[in-house]
Structure 1
Amino acid sequence: MFSEAPHNNHTFSSKCWNIPISLQVKTSIRASGRAEFIKEDREKMRDPEPCRIKHTEDTEQQTELIEENEENEELNEVEGINHFRTGEIPSSCSQTQKDLKKRRAKKSFTCTQCGKRLTSKHHLEFHMRVHTGEKPYKCSHCDKRFNHSGALKTHERIHTGEKPFTCDQCGKSFTQKGDLTTHMRVHTGEKPFTCDQCGKSFTHSSHLKDHMNIHTGEKLYTCDQCGKTFLRASVLKKHLKVHTKEKPHSCHLCGKSFSHLQSLKEHLKIHTGVREYMCFVCEKTFSSVKCLKLHQMIHTGEKPYKCSHCDKRFIHSGALKTHEMIHTGEKPYKCSHCDKRLIHSGALKTHEMIHTGEKPYKCSHCDKRFSRSSTLKIHERIHTGEKPYHCTACGKCFNNSSALHRHIKNNHSK
């Protein structure tokens, strides 16, 4: 007779596929002398985090995530069967791989539209929604529809305000785990996606994908109003609001409206005073990581964007694009009140205030109002006495750069 042996824990991981599987097996020998292998738990095997559906490519990506999860489930089942049959933990995965291929061959479902092969009828049905456009899941708060429940769940957090994923470094919360993972790279400095053409690195894959179009020159989406081209459909959609004058996002504190939700979020920080991103060189703070990165180039002197018509270089692509219109003569933004055309939307917006008489920026010290925030900023220095621009030749200080340039021209130029 066998005496009951103490439990031995064996932990093993799949080495044949690059998939996150870790199984824990307990071996116990009972009085009958039969060895039993019991799968106790499967770590890191949970449903993929739901992601927001943006367009067809994202839908296909979601399908692939679900398929990968099913493959992991199959692998667990096949490994469990092999271990039970042999009564030992195998040193290689070759037998498991063979059995997995057999199982896949038995349950292979092919899309009649594009030829893609899927591992179950359910996932084939899910994939077909890419072609049919079917969106059976409707938001209970608005009319938006989705082709799977995970995307609906994520979307509804916009209405409920739920942000279950919180950064333990700065306390910022997010609606999706993927957004938190990407945000954490701000703190760690991690940039895992590298361009194989120029070596530039990015925090997430979509930015690398957009960057690659700089090398290929590919611009897929064109505005039918002004002919401007864009790398992404989402950016074109945002741009079209310039022409339609649509501003669906309003500030509940001052009533100011914005074309984009992100612009409203940035605006709200003016009221709350939140400036969470700090430059470690000069300790200046910013309301967004994008503004911080642009500012840091002042210290590094980096100007990665060069004009194709002259040798002038710029800190960011937007400034380069605007500058190149000087060479091309392009002025895509036309005033709705007169025939004047302008290089960029910001200049158009400021110009149209001449016609409307709108002056949204009010001085906090007096009742004077201005059409531009930059003009307000200069004006408020009269009240505060701030003079940040100083002459290196004589030390005299000024409250704006134009006054400094005039002073140098009149007094120190040869």
Structure 2
Amino acid sequence: MDFTGEHFLVKETIKSVETVLYQCNQCDKSFSQNSNLINHQRIHSGEKPYQCTECDRTFSQNSNLRRHLRTHTGDKPYQCSKCDQAFPRNSNLIRHMRTHTGEKPFQCSLCVKTFAQYSNLVKHLRVHSGEKPYICNQCDKAFSVDSILRNHMKTHTGEKPYQCIHCDKAFSQNNNLKTHMRRHTGEKPYQCSQCDKGFAQNSDLVIHVRTHTGEKPFQCNLCVKAFTQKIHLTRHQKMHIGEKY
């Protein structure tokens, strides 16, 4: 007598008994192991029983505590195979590897842009939505990216941590220092494709290109005149109201 079919049915029944799901009573999630359910329930309770011995941080899972401890020990077990950089977390290594592979797996659903990191996609999406969640507590300005807010705060504090090594000028932002340094080095990385002129700043190149295209985007609302630069429009408008400049 062939018991093959019956034997298979018994095995499947045993397997289904073995994979009893542990259901969370706070949400609809379920787990194959009770220990995973216990870890999950700490999300609801806020319990963080794993205390760091080096600082006051606490964690809901032991694995998170172990990862955190590497910030104190300096342990970086995840080594890049392409360069000499190492990382405390595997997720950090995965993100870093994209600098070598050029992979950009995060696609904007509203335009063609792609990103190597999900966090950069989130920041980019604010360009489309207009969301500016980072608000200055000194004035009413708001920003889409926290780093831009930090730079803005320096306008209130007067902090200028970026010092030129060639003169006594200092700047609140590093990119402004880089632009300034080109005055000393003579570097002009922005090259006009229509002639041989080069420029230290991209904004100067944009203005120059208008001499080739004839574009005059700054239109006077009091007459027919238009200008290549906003500053020229401002000077012109003062003539209408009788101001001297």
TM superposition score normalised by structure 2: 0.60
Structure 1 match to 2:238: 377
Contact 2:67 2:88 in 1 (8 A): no
CA drift of 1:199 comes to 2.4
| CA distance in 1: counterparts of 2:163 and 2:189, whole angstroms | 22
| CA distance in 2: counterparts of 1:136 and 1:38, whole angstroms | 36
What amino acid is aligned across from residue 85 of structure 2 in structure 1? K
Contact 2:188 2:199 in 1 (8 A): yes
- How has the CA–CA distance of structure 1 residues 201 and 242 changed in structure 2, closer, same or farther, with 3 Å as cutoff? closer
| CA distance in 2: counterparts of 1:126 and 1:378, whole angstroms | 56
Match of 1:142 among 111, 118, 122: 111
Over the residues paired in the alignment, what is the CA RMSD in angstroms? 3.6
Task: State the identity %.
Answer: 34
Match of 2:185 among 194, 198, 216: 216
| CA distance in 2: counterparts of 1:231 and 1:370, whole angstroms | 29
| CA distance in 2: counterparts of 1:375 and 1:153, whole angstroms | 42
CA drift of 1:349 comes to 4.3
Task: Extract unaligned runs of 5+ from structure 2.
Answer: 1-49, 59-64, 228-232
CA drift of 1:134 comes to 1.1
Structure 2 match to 1:362: 221
Structure 2 match to 1:190: 159
Residue by residue over 1:323-350, the C-alpha shift from the partner in whole angstroms, topping out at 9 and shown as x without a partner, is: xxxxxxxxxx34x5xxxxxxxxxxx546
TM superposition score normalised by structure 1: 0.38
Any residues of structure 2 matched to 1:6-405 within 5 Å, and which? 38-39=51-52, 41-42=56-57, 73-75=68-70, 100=73, 103-104=75-76, 107-112=77-82, 114-231=83-200, 235=202, 239=205, 243=209, 333-334=211-212, 349=215, 360-363=219-222, 368-371=223-226, 373=233, 374-381=235-242, 388=243, 400=244
Structure 1 match to 2:3: none
Residue by residue over 1:129-164, the C-alpha shift from the partner in whole angstroms, topping out at 9 and shown as x without a partner, is: 112221111112212111101100011111111111
Total equivalences in the alignment:
182
What amino acid is aligned across from residue 74 of structure 1 in structure 2? L
| CA distance in 1: counterparts of 2:236 and 2:133, whole angstroms | 41
Contact 2:78 2:93 in 1 (8 A): no
- How has the CA–CA distance of structure 1 residues 42 and 121 changed in structure 2, closer, same or farther, with 3 Å as cutoff? closer
- How has the CA–CA distance of structure 1 residues 369 and 153 changed in structure 2, closer, same or farther, with 3 Å as cutoff? same
Contact 2:189 2:200 in 1 (8 A): yes
Contact 1:111 1:117 in 2 (8 A): no
CA drift of 1:202 comes to 0.4
Contact 2:108 2:114 in 1 (8 A): yes
| CA distance in 2: counterparts of 1:239 and 1:130, whole angstroms | 29
- How has the CA–CA distance of structure 1 residues 209 and 168 changed in structure 2, closer, same or farther, with 3 Å as cutoff? same
| CA distance in 2: counterparts of 1:72 and 1:196, whole angstroms | 40
Structure 2 match to 1:15: none
Contact 1:165 1:177 in 2 (8 A): yes
- How has the CA–CA distance of structure 1 residues 349 and 38 changed in structure 2, closer, same or farther, with 3 Å as cutoff? closer
Contact 1:163 1:176 in 2 (8 A): yes
CA drift of 1:167 comes to 1.3
- How has the CA–CA distance of structure 1 residues 124 and 225 changed in structure 2, closer, same or farther, with 3 Å as cutoff? farther
What amino acid is aligned across from residue 132 of structure 1 in structure 2? T
Structure 1 match to 2:17: none
Task: Extract unaligned runs of 5+ from structure 1.
Answer: 1-36, 44-69, 79-99, 246-332, 337-347, 354-358, 382-387, 389-399, 402-414
Contact 2:199 2:205 in 1 (8 A): no
- How has the CA–CA distance of structure 1 residues 132 and 75 changed in structure 2, closer, same or farther, with 3 Å as cutoff? closer
What amino acid is aligned across from residue 80 of structure 2 in structure 1? T
- How has the CA–CA distance of structure 1 residues 42 and 211 changed in structure 2, closer, same or farther, with 3 Å as cutoff? farther
| CA distance in 1: counterparts of 2:113 and 2:68, whole angstroms | 32
